[in-house]
Amino acid sequence: MAYRDFNKPDQTPSKTDPSGTGAGRTVDTRLVGGSMALRREHGTATQLTGTYLHDPIFNDADLVALKAWCDPADPRPLVVEIGFQRARFARAFCEANPDVRYLGFEIRKKFCEDADAWLVRGGVVNARLALVDARACLPMVVQPGTLDTLLAFFPDPWWKSRHMKKRLVSGDFVAEAADLLKIGGQLLVKTDVEGYADWAEAEMRSDARFEVARLDDPAADLPPTQRERACGLHGRPTWAVRAVRLIGG
């Protein structure tokens, strides 16, 4: 889809959004993976086994375990990644930072299983993975003001106007991130779509609690993701936007 259409919203009215812009839809209808409550009521539990894997939707013990992993009494920094795919970044990051607690969210079972196997082969011990939409689960497992870093690397741009409501980075998402992050904590978004970088930066600047900057170094001094490696091989540019939680913002 052409760049000029990237910020054009869907004008089709809906039951929850009579104005037709999509902004009034409920969180449940915006979530790509569906709300946890609706999934529990209508879904079927997956057969998910592994060293690091958790299914907080259908397994109460897994939800409790994730809450314990995010316990603010633990002095180790808490780093959350949304959409870890096959955990190429997660393994390199955890190996380089053994003193952090890493928590990754993904909505695809195959990616979770592949990621678990990859982390096990690397001997990683400081990671946990959750098969659930992060937007539904994060407020349940992370207490406000206790998160050090929130990473969202190469989220789906959802090009079509009727799908804009599904974009991860939104005003609601940014506000929730600000609630969860510590003072000085950061929200970091990477993308290979310049229009999405512009979109994300504008949404992040909408919350006065953040100081926002487009980074000169899109790598942000972090291990490359699988997508970044592919972009580098094909000569495609990437962008990174960082929002730092301000004191008294």
Catalytic residues: 156
Instruction: Yes or no: say if 206 and 77 are a contact pair by the CB < 8 Å rule.
Output: no
The residues, ordered by sequence, that sit 6+ positions from 59 with a Cβ below 8 Å of its Cβ are: 45
248: left (phi over 0), alpha (psi -120 to 50) or beta: left
Backbone torsions φ then ψ of 62, nearest 5 degrees:
-70, -40
Any alpha helices (H) in the chain, and if so which ranges? Answer: 27-30, 36-42, 60-69, 88-96, 109-121, 134-141, 171-180, 194-205, 226-234
CB-CB neighbours of 221 under 10 Å: 6
